[in-house]
């Protein structure tokens, strides 16, 4: 069904500024994305060795080696690549993750050819203190304008973490309508922070987003009813 989804989106929003990136774990995924006309893809690595093995069945170093040909072919096809780093604060198997590890992995993905690195608190254990320390280390290796943040709201800290990130110069924030999502390899993790909540925060801060919050709420209500999610 990926073909139908991507082709429908491409036809409906042809020429629009929106981007519809596809998550690709390997060369096969990239080939499928390119075949249906994707202009942007995303690769994902973990700052935790144990999580990397559970999620993509290889070590962190092995994952970087696997991504090299993916980045090379994407570049030859004119496809942009975004890099995701998961478990930037904590891991369900290893516990706390060293900020230095996150910084070095982010730098490696950038050097492979990613245009932006999204830092993901996959299990939502971060709070402003740990998030600030992590971002401080990462910014020693990667320019602030090449960073994005991705917070899950397991313990209700996502908005506080986003505010901390904004104060540190981060201007790209991942979110999910109605807070949908999660991770099958991170038991207990909630979905990504709700787009509606992020917009409410940004608009209160006077940030011009160009996004119609009532329409996002309407979309969130629709998908929540469809999925029978309260």
Please confirm, yes or no, whether 87 is among the known catalytic residues: no
Burial class, 130, CB count within 10 angstroms (exposed 0-12 / middle 13-18 / buried 19+): buried
The active-site residue, picked from 87, 91, 114, 183, is 183
Angle between helices 99-112 and 60-76 (to 10 degrees): 30
Nearest alpha carbon to residue 52 among 39, 66, 43, 63: 63
Nearest alpha carbon to residue 161 among 126, 109, 211: 126
Backbone phi and psi for residue 205, each to the nearest 5 degrees, phi listed first: -80, -5
203-206: Cβ within 8 A, 24+ apart: 205/166
Q: Which residues are catalytic?
A: 183
């Amino acid at each position: 069904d990926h073909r139908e989804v991507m082709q429908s989106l491409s036809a409906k929003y042809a020429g629009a500024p929106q981007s519809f990136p596809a998550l690709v774990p390997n060369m096969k995924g990239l080939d499928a994305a390119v075949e249906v006309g994707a202009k942007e893809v995303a690769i994902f690595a973990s700052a935790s060795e144990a999580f990397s093995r559970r999620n993509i069945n290889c070590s962190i170093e092995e994952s970087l080696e696997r991504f090299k040909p993916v980045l090379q072919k994407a570049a030859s096809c004119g496809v942009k690549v975004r890099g995701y780093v998961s478990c930037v604060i904590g891991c369900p198997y290893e516990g706390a993750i060293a900020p230095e590890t996150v910084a070095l992995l982010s730098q490696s993905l950038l050097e492979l050819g990613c245009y932006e690195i999204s830092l993901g608190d996959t299990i939502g254990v971060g709070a402003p203190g740990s998030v600030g320390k992590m971002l401080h280390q990462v910014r020693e290796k990667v320019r602030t304008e090449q960073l994005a943040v991705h917070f899950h709201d397991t313990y209700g800290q996502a908005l506080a973490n986003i505010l901390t990130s904004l104060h540190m110069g981060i201007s790209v924030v991942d979110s999910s309508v109605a807070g949908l999502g999660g991770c099958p390899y991170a038991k207990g993790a909630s979905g990504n922070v709700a787009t509606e909540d992020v917009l409410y925060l940004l608009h209160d801060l006077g940030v011009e987003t160009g996004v119609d919050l009532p329409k996002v709420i309407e979309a969130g209500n629709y998908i929540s009813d469809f999925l029978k999610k309260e």
